[in-house]
Amino acid sequence: MEFTTPVYVGVNLDANDGPQMNAVAIIFIILSFTTLVLRLFSRLHTKVSIGMDDELIVVAAVLSWGYTATVIFEVEHNYYGQHIGKSDTHHLEEFNKGLYGLAIVYPLALTFSKLSLLALYWRIFRVTNARRPLQIVAALNIGWMIAAFIVGIFSCTPIRGFWDATIKSRCIQYPQFFTSNESFTIILDLVVLLMPVYFISHLQRSVSQRISISSTFLLGLVVTVVSAVRLWQLVLAQRKPGFDPTFNETPAALWAIVELNLWIIVASIPALRPLITKTLQDRRERNSASGSKSYTYGSGSLKGLKALLWPSQGRPSTLSRSNGRLPLDGEETRGAVGAESSRSVEDYNVQVSAPVPREATWTPLGVAEDGLDDAQLQELGGIRVDREVKVSQPENAYHRI
């Protein structure tokens, strides 16, 4: 049996937003899938172990793609994106079943993405005062997820009443629930995305480095803008006349697709930084392979360290004066374990003799292993703290690099 909604002034009853929804869904599935593959490739390429943050984002991706695929199914089979007058009782019931599933999956997909980002923070910011805030914010997100999940399941009593209009049931006010739900989501988004800015501001790095690292995380604020747009679309849907869920709720569903898949991208951008850094560094090394034999050892620079490890045969390499961390004040420090070879470096009459390994990994002090510094997780053959390094200089000289 077919039925129609009343004719509203200025409403095109033949309007169909379905193709637009499908196009957006396919584009964002491709983008999020590509980003996730690059993230996992980055872990393998930079030899960073798969962590909880990677496992959580995979779960979030599966849930997000399930949500997106359900919307596509609704468009293709249940008149989603068209006015309810194009549908019938059977298809409306099937549409509501799909809507019921979307209401349950949405908080799960959203929260697992945020938990993945929080787990990444946990791996990066290894300072004691960062642990408790991360635990509190994670607990808030998990609490919201559980509450939204339970409300989604038991939104109607009996549950079947959500999609079966032939039985007597009591249901919550969906528009008000979704609006308040999205409002709280935006608050949690801002807290999660702004947390690293506070931690980074306390790192002993230059202002430019702190801004560079912070910008990697602040790119995620675009997802908060998307959430705000979705909230506004939910408000507009409540103001539209008549009962027309297959059409009135289309914009909110479209922005939900963007939001969930964009979270996959946002949560993966910081994890892609090591891959980008290593790729650029490898390119610079290839370009300079036949160039000058003089290198600079400085903060964030790998060339000087490589010059120390692989100088020209029979000639010492030169390290120019900069803000590197080699101790050149006559003290003894600890060097690296590995297949040792003696190297000599002369700079401002300061003689450095250090046993170094053929292969090692250089990580500046105070920076996590996840690649948020240009000199992290690079297969350099660098100096690690394990074995003795003797540093000497003339008595009348006192230079620090």
Report if residue 288 sits inside a domain.
no
pLDDT tens per residue, range 303-351: 433 343 334 444 443 333 333 333 333 333 333 333 334 444 444 344 4
- Rounded Cα distance between 374 and 393, Å, is 30
Report if residue 55 sits inside a domain.
yes
Q: Are residues 171 and 61 in the same domain?
A: yes
Is residue 8 very low, low, confident or very high in pLDDT (cuts 50, 70, 90)?
A: low
* Average pLDDT of span 81-93: 88
Of 179, 180, 153, the residue nearest 249 (C-alpha): 179
Of 367, 368, 339, 369, the residue nearest 355 (C-alpha): 339
Number of domains forming the structure of the chain: 2
Report if residue 313 sits inside a domain.
yes
Q: Are residues 206 and 335 in the same domain?
A: no
Residue-level length of the chain: 401
Q: Are residues 148 and 177 in the same domain?
A: yes
| DSSP conformation letters of 6-60 | PPPTT--TT-B-HHHHHHHHHHHHHHHHHHHHHHHHHHHHTTPPP-HHHHHHHHH
pLDDT tens per residue, range 12-44: 778 899 999 999 999 999 999 999 999 999 888
Report if residue 57 sits inside a domain.
yes
pLDDT of residue 291: 56
Q: Are residues 206 and 132 in the same domain?
A: yes
Q: Are residues 48 and 190 in the same domain?
A: yes
Report if residue 322 sits inside a domain.
yes
pLDDT of residue 74: 95
| DSSP conformation letters of 237-302 | HHHS-SS-HHHHTHHHHHHHHHHHHHHHHHHHHHHHHHHHHHHHHHHHHHHTTTS-S-EE--TT--
Which distant-in-sequence residues (6+ apart) come within 8 Å of 73 by Cβ?
A: 98
More confident residue, 281 or 56: 56
Show which of 283, 315, 330 is a domain's final residue.
283
Which distant-in-sequence residues (6+ apart) come within 8 Å of 350 by Cβ?
A: 328, 393, 394, 397, 399, 401
**pTM of the full structure:** 0.68
- Rounded Cα distance between 160 and 152, Å, is 12
Report if residue 10 sits inside a domain.
no
pLDDT tens per residue, range 238-271: 888 777 888 988 999 999 999 999 999 999 988 8
Is residue 130 very low, low, confident or very high in pLDDT (cuts 50, 70, 90)?
A: confident
More confident residue, 381 or 161: 161
Show which of 250, 283, 316 is a domain's final residue.
283
Instruction: State which residues form the domain around 299.
Output: 295-392
Three-class SS string for 73-84? HHHHHCCCCECH
Q: Are residues 238 and 315 in the same domain?
A: no
Q: Are residues 159 and 234 in the same domain?
A: yes
pLDDT of residue 340: 39
Report if residue 232 sits inside a domain.
yes
pLDDT of residue 313: 42
Q: Would you give the distance in Å from CA 271 to the centre of its chain?
A: 7
**For residue 34, what is the domain's CATH number?**
1.20.1070
Q: What is the dihedral of CA 303, 38, 221, 100, to 10 degrees?
A: -170
Q: Which phi and psi angles does 328 have, rounded to 5°?
A: -120, 45
Q: Are residues 65 and 173 in the same domain?
A: yes
Report if residue 5 sits inside a domain.
no
pLDDT tens per residue, range 191-205: 998 888 877 776 666
One-letter identity of residue 38? L
H or E element: which one contains 335?
A: strand 332-335
β-pairing, 361-362 vs 378-379, is antiparallel
Strongest mean pLDDT among 143-147, 221-225, 298-302:
143-147
Of 108, 262, 136, the residue nearest 192 (C-alpha): 136
Q: Are residues 54 and 104 in the same domain?
A: yes
Q: Mapping DSSP to helix (H, G, I), strand (E, B) and coil, where does residue 399 land?
A: coil
Q: Are residues 255 and 354 in the same domain?
A: no
Q: Are residues 219 and 152 in the same domain?
A: yes
Q: Are residues 274 and 323 in the same domain?
A: no
Question: How many other C-beta atoms are found inside a 10 Å radius of the C-beta of residue 347?
Answer: 19
Q: What is the dihedral of CA 120, 124, 128, 130, to 10 degrees?
A: -50
Report whether 371 contacts 319 (CB < 8 A): no
β-pairing, 350-356 vs 341-347, is antiparallel
